Structure 1
């Protein structure tokens, strides 16, 4: 069964396209990817097929009948439309060929996709036509094979399993035969090759890539891309459910939920340029990071070859995307506080309130949005589009939780919920460590159900195979010793592991107690070790001015770090958790889980006191000491 993007064909598709979609899905190999009407640099080929042993095939689909065809030749076809008028169009095979050349010329700009010492792609590519309402006997009777060779044609009886002569083997054989130039290939397309093809053809799936300066190569400039990173196919499918109205995505920490949301915002802005789009989250730092991510995506050229001679950056396309944290939006757009929402909802129910209208609303970290907030946003959503994307992770819930999405915003998400269960952010060691803690302490552990997407279940994470050091646990006699260790560790990681300061964060639960100012100790220690820092959560202004790539160590509360990630995370003063003044311990469990899953590679947990959580960490350290080999050590 092939992987389809999107996973379900839109309602606007023709009956013939639906048949072909389902047939390709059911009868092509599982490692094949099939795109339906992807938007590629202004063009929309009907189907794009990518397979390790196939290469790249473009299919043009036509629902022509015998009565449609009036006069045809190799270049142009004269067709009779439903009104009886004659319409001239390009030959379907020529359309498919032009699309294939357009795509492959674009891919040839990446030297890593070329044959060694050549200008041709290292994989075969082809094109063909599909006539969903004409059978092979019709082609013979009408002499159509004289205009399009049989090897470039699929007819109804070759794509419809309900037809007696249908054969999956023949279908696959014909698709493999749609090539004008055969390659003597020794190897199939690797995962990296397929990732590179997706990276170039579909800008919306890009995460990152490193590129070296272009070099002159046989009269053409070529990009040399390395460390290409794209969304996985599941994430891509989530982002590409455009025009599919409201949708709920539940995902574990580090599963790329924010990336999917940002990519969807870009695609909506591109496909619906007149739409007014609102993107919201709870925390100010996350809203700034999200805004920077969307702006970068909007300003990145679709063709990375344009990076050689970039045009001036004018973010006109992003002008209709508003990105705020919820309270900032409330203050700027409605001139009100959240305590005023109930009265406004009462007026709205009587059609006495004037509210802004958005064609699409996207909410990140939706588990932290209160019921009234969602009701208000539901009132601001264009009823004709109903394009609302709600992204959440129940294991990261830190504020009051709504009871029912149907009650809150009047939209039923049953059948419109999807799960992202693979953690891409953290190493396997961090994922397992954080999840073990959560299962040990959460009161919601009985609701953990593998693969469930309805109700209030927590989704257990599945880690990638990316390995790293075990989380480092250290206890000290006092906060001075604790922070001295943190600062020395940062210096070591910067100098010996070449980790930039902007990729390091120190997270804390509380900034002081009646006895000591923890934040002063953190700052004093960093200053004494000549480590520049940015205290993100010093005040509202510092939150609003947060710049992710500023070359400083970031200091933040744990809850303000939601949605962010760093290569190295220190959670200090762990003995302050669970916080004695917090009535709901479940919130503290979620906070600690959130803090730990901010770390991409290195996680340090330090403390100089005792609490329920430090007792758990002491027990972990004791078990480690009893093993033949202990956890990762600095140096």
Structure 2
């Protein structure tokens, strides 16, 4: 039997947050001394928390360990009691006293243990949680007695001393003599009546490494055509790329950006949507690690703002936004154009290359403005897919508009959709034929002679609009319950909605059950922008955002919730959402919760169609109760 280690041993030296020397010693200790059935998870994504190690045995239980590689002689540390509060850990160096409470390992493991007992397993009996979860602390560079003495008041406050076997603390002495039972007393067990393989499957959802960090450690995968586009430029420097969803337009753009940055070029990458820039930067980093910091990544309107602020026109910029509810796009473009045209002092930054993704969201005059900041002899790239015309702007790119945009020759076409699982393509094609305008539709071709080796689960749940949020939250828990043995992580799950209000309702419902979401839902525009800038697939929580904000992205497990889809833009928006699903060797998952009656007939064609018109969910029990009742 081979031990499960996640991430795999061979990947540990390339983690985004590398293991420290002390953590390596602890890992080697566990791998050398634990029975092989104990699984080792390093820096797992635990609902937004990141403990150093979690150990799982499907017949015994789970253990979480915090490792502190502290030199107790380098900084003086002590604990002070506080009335009705946990004791506080303090430190002193060079005559200065400071709090170390945020890094107090006792409080950290206490929180980890509470999270596991209260959230991760709906089937854990709270009375038996103590016997299922071990919370340990290891100091690989300090003596056992010293660390025990230092943290004694903290451990007594949390009642850890009286249950040492479930709350062990150890130092370098135990590690050096290979004393597994001092470091982890419960390792001696071979079974527990409180643990079983089904419960272990629940826990793995929160422990296994998500898809995003795995992907981030590998270079971008390019076919021959994509590689040629990423490594070359046209004679004029202008190139336009199109193709169906998943054909690699964004990948080519990111790879091209990485190459130009590596050559020392000044690169500006622009998109309409803020969150897409995070995805593009992450992709470019895979080929050239300094890419995120070395390039400029801006959405179009923030680039306009930067031009104004860099040239002492901030007051004029603010004046454009003085009328509430008015979006001054044309006036803003006119202001920026006049600034660039009169920039005799060179205050406006120019670039060797300007790369634009999701170009169908742009107006031709935006492109014209960006051309003005491309250096002579520079490079311009436009990637576009008119099928995903969610803002109704694609038709602005007429032949006449294109003639004045600097391009020569036809579009470069990427034909093959690599992202989509083959089992989804027929349903995407059917959707496109039914609901998208023929003149704009660029649908992924059927991949002939391809074995369906990357399975996907497709589920359509038809509901009344008022039930959409509750049903989506319920489907999240059902997905957690059903797929713990397929390498799926909770962090892989992404929820896409057609409105901010719907998204906030879902996040609130899921949050009531203890699961955290990183989301972009905020009425205040400034707060919304901050949330979008902080939206990364590598975040340890469930992802939740609008269909608009997820354009250009991809995910292994998608839950799409729409209440209404009455016009062409709404239909294009759902198409964009359906085509975000990413194939995966262990399977991918797409659930649509739909409150639009006009889509019910289409939904019936899906392999798993559920029609739910039901009474008030307040009478139905909790979300997790209902999920746990399902077969």
In the superposition, the TM-score normalised over structure 2's length comes to: 0.52
> How far did residue 622 of structure 1 move?
10
- In 2: Cα distance, 1:407 partner to 1:520 partner: 40
Asked whether 1:472 is paired with 2:462, we answer: no
Partner of 2:107: none
* Conservation of the 8 A alpha-carbon contact between 2:459 and 2:607: no
Greater mean alpha carbon deviation, residues 259-268 or residues 486-495: 486-495
Partner of 2:572: 590
Distance 1:624 1:318, change over 3 A: closer
Partner of 2:362: 369
**1:275-290 alignment, distance < 5 Å:** 275-290=265-280
> How far did residue 408 of structure 1 move?
5.8
The secondary structure found in structure 1 opposite 2:377 is coil
More helix by share: 2
* Conservation of the 8 A alpha-carbon contact between 1:280 and 1:287: yes
- In 1: Cα distance, 2:369 partner to 2:515 partner: 44
Asked whether 1:560 is paired with 2:560, we answer: no
Partner of 1:487: 476
The secondary structure found in structure 2 opposite 1:294 is helix
Distance 1:357 1:263, change over 3 A: same
Asked whether 1:260 is paired with 2:234, we answer: no
The secondary structure found in structure 2 opposite 1:569 is strand
Partner of 1:604: 591
Asked whether 1:437 is paired with 2:411, we answer: no
* Conservation of the 8 A alpha-carbon contact between 2:459 and 2:608: no
**1:392-407 alignment, distance < 5 Å:** 392-399=384-391, 400-401=393-394, 402-404=396-398, 407=401
Point out which structure has higher relative CO (alpha carbons under 8 A, 6+ apart): 2
The secondary structure found in structure 2 opposite 1:566 is coil
Gaps of 5+ in 1: 1-206, 212-224, 300-314, 449-457, 513-517, 579-584, 626-633
Distance 1:494 1:326, change over 3 A: farther
**1:391-470 alignment, distance < 5 Å:** 391-399=383-391, 400-401=393-394, 402-404=396-398, 407=401, 410-415=404-409, 417-443=411-437, 445-446=438-439, 448=441, 458=442, 460-463=444-447, 465-466=451-452, 467-470=454-457
Partner of 1:326: 300
> How far did residue 446 of structure 1 move?
4.4
Partner of 2:564: 576
* Conservation of the 8 A alpha-carbon contact between 1:251 and 1:257: yes
Distance 1:566 1:462, change over 3 A: same
RMSD over aligned Cα, in angstroms? 3.4
Partner of 2:536: 547
> How far did residue 556 of structure 1 move?
0.7
**1:327-342 alignment, distance < 5 Å:** 327-335=301-309, 336=317, 338-342=329-333
The secondary structure found in structure 2 opposite 1:542 is helix
- In 2: Cα distance, 1:351 partner to 1:407 partner: 25
Greater mean alpha carbon deviation, residues 283-292 or residues 401-410: 401-410
The secondary structure found in structure 2 opposite 1:421 is coil
> How far did residue 383 of structure 1 move?
2.7
Partner of 2:22: none
- In 1: Cα distance, 2:399 partner to 2:455 partner: 38
Asked whether 1:295 is paired with 2:285, we answer: yes
Partner of 1:503: 492
Distance 1:323 1:462, change over 3 A: farther
The secondary structure found in structure 2 opposite 1:361 is strand
> How far did residue 540 of structure 1 move?
1.7
Distance 1:318 1:349, change over 3 A: closer
> How far did residue 529 of structure 1 move?
3.8
* Conservation of the 8 A alpha-carbon contact between 1:246 and 1:416: no
